Amino acid sequence: MTMKFQDPEQEKPIKALQVLSLPVGLRAAVLKATVDRQDIPLPDFHEEGYTISFINFKGDVRVATGHRPGDKEQPASPGLGLISAAGKPMSFRTGASVSFAALVLFVPKGWVPHFLGANTPFRKLEQQLEEGANIITCRLGRKQLSQLSSALNVTGEKPLSLLNLQNGALALLEYFLCNRHRSLLGVSPTSDIENEDDLSLIREVESYISEYYCSDTFTVDSILKKTYTSYHRLNFLFKSIHGMTISEYIRNKRIEKSKEMIADNVKSISQIAYEIGYSSISNYILAFKKVYQITPGKYKKQIDSLA
Amino acid sequence: MSYVSLENSESFLKCFEVIAEDKSCIVSDSVLYFSGKTGKGFITAAGIDTGIEVLALNVSMLTDDLTIRFQPSTDASSYILHFDEIEIPAKGDNDLPVNNMSGVEKGHSAVSIADAGRGKTIVYPRERVIRSLIVRVRKSSLDDLIKDFDAGTIGAILDSPEGPAFLTWPITFKYRLLLNDFMTEIVQHPFRELFTIRNVSMLMEYLLQQFFVMQKLTGEGNSLSSQDTRSLSRVEQHLCSQYKKEFPGIEKLSRISAMSPTSLKTKFKRYYGETLFGYYQKNKLEHARKLLDSKIPVKVVATEIGYSNPSHFTLAFKKEYGFSPWHYLNPH
């Protein structure tokens, strides 16, 4: 099944937009094009459900919630996932010479109860959409981008290309929902961690970190090995409790310690950097700046001038 | 011995009631938990309206064999796929996998596809670590997936009256990584059904890929004896466990398999569709990719999987995936 979209002003066909039905019950549209100052309307599926698009591009692109010129626009950044309720089609306005790729998934209403229905996270997302948020976005990570580009590689000549597309689509969908789920959790951080095991795991990791964080051989990996958890799980737990990733937590701990050491005024900054486990001074200075918005040298001068 | 019998028209969910009746386990939220004397772990099922049903087993150290029996049905519209990984639990730092399997061999690690119409019995042995996914999928959905390519090939083999009751292939590191991730993450995943269907879909892709590769490789009259396949899976297991170290070398591998180096090489290729080193390398790089996914720097990953020189790692990575690890980390 192939649909063609015509731009009314320029009378130039954008590119064939393939709509494929996946065996698992989703519908997917695949778009790859190089365009120059054009609107790219995404298909309206004329059915109740949700449209989730994953886009990547090089150039300048804006997202609008409709086809008319007066519609609200948002600037888009490359590597984005967007969800909108069906019946509110999105379109993309492009600047000069943009290479644009999109995977548009249509999730029919009937699909929701089987796959996402009994889920409070999805309910929350639905609620947001009903409350008037037209488009909800999330940024794609590097893994998702590689999944996107491999999913878009539907040639029909390659064996199993449809299955490949389905896998990419499902993985991206899962990422999108989990990502939203986490940001929804961010509103009330500790609500989801009630499990005793999880809490004791976090306590264990915290005490391990406070014991070893100054060693230069200390890595997140060594924690994983010690506690037999996956990185993602540990990060998930850490984020829900501390609101930051585990590496951010470690960095903050190191920088705090270094701040105390600077205030003691016994050691030089480079000595301190090596002592708290940094292998290069510039890394340390960058990290310090990220936490306190000031370089350690300037901080030292401030302290000295006070004393 | 406990039996679970399933009519094909019945839902996988019924399994639980049958197992729960004679085992001391808890059923909650369509998950069956084992505890105490019947082993540890869980079984979970998801029935999905698009013609796919999934039964996931993650149990270890059962005190009894667990039998799951699918009764033959007259309604021949689906396939049963299963992905079993059955491990002997590790005992300390044992370098070589255990050689002698005592008693009768029951289930073993494999993937297979069978016509649901013919029924199927699976026995999961006791005192093992078992990770398994059993999937029932409609024939039409599977044929949809391989439509323009080779639709009906699997059906043609399984349907012919003198043909085999099921097709089976060895389990490879790809399945193992996926099954492992699946079992650890499913417990706390917020979108359990979607996660299940995504993983099943990927497993199906692996299976179909393997099927087409094997179709090409196995000529007529080239079948391997069961002793050979057992030796080969021992070699494969050893290769997989060595991803942090150097390639073990053909002499050592041929000792493990009790075959001559030449016959090991040819048989391995025929069974797994890869050369020994190619297989080892792919497994290694797949592990590297997983590490990169968790945002570990390239240099650290290279040393972690046993490369002394990061640029050797980069070269190997690029050769396998077509892009360098750095580009994998920074796609923009």
CATH of residue B271's domain is 1.10.10.60
Confirm if B262 and B253 have CB atoms less than 8 A apart: no
Q: Quick one: what percent of chain B has pLDDT higher than 70?
A: 70
**Mean pLDDT, range A56-75, rounded to an integer:** 70
| Contact at CB, A121 and B191, closer than 8 angstroms | yes
Residues B71 and B175 in one domain: yes
Residues B101 and B31 in one domain: yes
How do B66-70 and B2-6 pair as beta strands?
A: parallel
- Shortest CA gap A115–chain B (Å): 5
What confidence score (pLDDT) does residue B49 get?
58
Pick A78 or A54 by higher pLDDT.
A54
Radius of gyration of chain A (CA): 24
Which one of A24, A121, A159 has the shortest CB-CB distance to B212? A159
Search chain A and give the residue with CA nearest B202.
A167
Residues B132 and B40 in one domain: yes
HSE of A69 in the Cβ direction (CA atoms, 13 Å)? 3
In what order do the strands lie in the sheet containing A61-64?
A: A39-41, A91-94, A61-64, A73-75
Q: Quick one: what percent of chain A has pLDDT higher than 90?
A: 0
Q: Quick one: what percent of chain B has pLDDT higher than 90?
A: 3
Q: Is B209 on the interface with A (CB under 8 A)?
A: yes
Domains assigned to chain A:
2-185 (2.60.120.280), 196-306 (1.10.10.60)
What confidence score (pLDDT) does residue B119 get?
74
| Contact at CB, A115 and B328, closer than 8 angstroms | no
Search chain A and give the residue with CA nearest B49.
A114
Residues B160 and B231 in one domain: no
A295 has pLDDT over 80: yes
Residues B14 and B133 in one domain: yes
What confidence score (pLDDT) does residue B167 get?
81
Confirm if B182 and B133 have CB atoms less than 8 A apart: yes
**Mean pLDDT, range B90-95, rounded to an integer:** 48
A50 has pLDDT over 80: yes
Residues B272 and B322 in one domain: yes
Residues B98 and B128 in one domain: yes
HSE of B218 in the Cβ direction (CA atoms, 13 Å)? 15
SS3 state of residue A157: coil
**Residue after which a domain boundary falls, among B217, B249, B277:** B217
- pLDDT tier, B35 (very low <50, low <70, confident <90, very high otherwise): low
SS3 state of residue B49: coil
| Contact at CB, B198 and A114, closer than 8 angstroms | no
What confidence score (pLDDT) does residue A195 get?
60
Q: Most B CBs within 10 Å: which of A166, A216, A229, A239, as the mutation test of the B interface?
A: A166
A46 has pLDDT over 60: yes
B257 has pLDDT over 60: yes
Q: Is A167 on the interface with B (CB under 8 A)?
A: yes
For residue A226, which of A206, A240, A245 has the smallest C-alpha distance?
A206
HSE of A120 in the Cβ direction (CA atoms, 13 Å)? 5
What confidence score (pLDDT) does residue A16 get?
53
Interface of B with A in 306-325 (CB under 8 A): none
Radius of gyration of chain B (CA): 21
Give whichever of A114-118, A189-193, A303-307 has the largest mean pLDDT.
A303-307
Q: What is the ipTM of this complex?
A: 0.74
Residues B99 and B79 in one domain: yes
Name the β-bridge partners of A137: A82
Which one of B185, B193, B331 has the shortest CB-CB distance to A146? B331
- CB-CB neighbors (< 8 A) of B198 in chain A: 167, 170-171, 173-174
Residues B238 and B293 in one domain: yes
| Burial class of B248 by CB neighbour count within 10 A (0 to 12, 13 to 18, 19+) | middle
Residue length, chain B?
332
- Shortest CA gap B19–chain A (Å): 25
> Which residues lie below 8 Å from residue A69, measured CB to CB, with a gap of 6+?
none
Pick B50 or A27 by higher pLDDT.
A27
Residues B265 and B301 in one domain: yes
The number of distinct structural domains making up chain B is 2
N- to C-terminal Cα distance for chain B?
57
Compute the distance between CA of residue A84 and CA of residue A77 in angstroms, rounded to an integer.
17
Search chain A and give the residue with CA nearest B330.
A142
| Contact at CB, A221 and B304, closer than 8 angstroms | yes
Q: Most A CBs within 10 Å: which of B194, B303, B320, B332, as the mutation test of the A interface?
A: B194
What domain range is B76 assigned to? Answer: 2-217
Confirm if B325 and B298 have CB atoms less than 8 A apart: yes
Question: What are A102-135's pLDDT values in tens digits?
Answer: 888 888 877 777 666 566 667 777 777 777 666 7
What confidence score (pLDDT) does residue A2 get?
39
Confirm if B111 and B172 have CB atoms less than 8 A apart: no
Residues B101 and B199 in one domain: yes
Residues B251 and B203 in one domain: no
Search chain A and give the residue with CA nearest B323.
A146
Q: How many CB atoms neighbour CB A181 within 10 A?
A: 21
